[in-house]
Amino acid sequence: MFKRIDHIELLTALPDRTIDFYCAVLGFRERERKRIPETPLGPLDLIYLELGDTTVEVMCYPDAKAIPSRSTEQRLGWQCLALEVADMDGALALLRRKGIAATWGPLVRSDYARAEIRDPDGNPIELRQWYQR
């Protein structure tokens, strides 16, 4: 009945910064842009980014007065976006060259390595390298 996760939504006040990070740093590509002219919060801009079979829907209400940032505290609900990497050390080195430092990790276990970075809005992105699958 259920097939897969279709997309993940990211709400941002600075869509160009978000798109640049996901495309230039993480290798996503922009697929499509849409504008919903009327919502209760005003117009809504949607930008669809793809990486393999993963879609991130970047959302922005350009006329909204303020959108609070995500807390770095642990909370109930969704915790992060996780991206599989082929080479953890290589991925972290590439990110460092682009000015992105890991917020923790890599944590190495017998069958995987994990690390975390943050996007420009502070959203956590887990990096995971599987050793055996």
For residues 18 and 72, the model is more confident at 18
* CB-based contacts of 130, cutoff 8 Å, min separation 6: 84, 111, 112
Q: Note the helical H segments in 5-123.
A: 15-20, 88-97
Contact 131, 111 (CB under 8 A): yes
Contact 10, 58 (CB under 8 A): yes
Q: What is the pLDDT of residues 35-51, one digit of tens each?
A: 999 988 889 999 999 99
The pLDDT value recorded for residue 70 is 63
Q: Which domains does the chain have, with CATH numbers?
A: 8-60 (3.10.180.10), 81-130 (3.10.180.10)
User: Could you count the other beta carbons within 10 Å of the beta carbon of residue 12?
Assistant: 22
Q: What is the pLDDT of residues 65-106, one digit of tens each?
A: 776 666 666 665 677 899 999 999 999 999 999 999 999 999
* CB-based contacts of 3, cutoff 8 Å, min separation 6: none
Contact 114, 106 (CB under 8 A): yes
Q: What is the pLDDT of residues 49-60, one digit of tens each?
A: 999 999 999 999
Global confidence as pTM: 0.86
> What confidence category does residue 4 fall into, taking pLDDT thresholds of 50, 70 and 90?
confident
Contact 18, 30 (CB under 8 A): no
The yes-or-no verdict on residue 28 having pLDDT over 70 is yes
For residues 108 and 72, the model is more confident at 108
| DSSP-assigned states of every residue in 50-73 | EETTEEEEEEE-TT-S--PPPPSS
Determine what percent of the chain falls in helix, strand and coil, rounding each to the nearest 5: 15, 40, 45
The pLDDT value recorded for residue 133 is 63
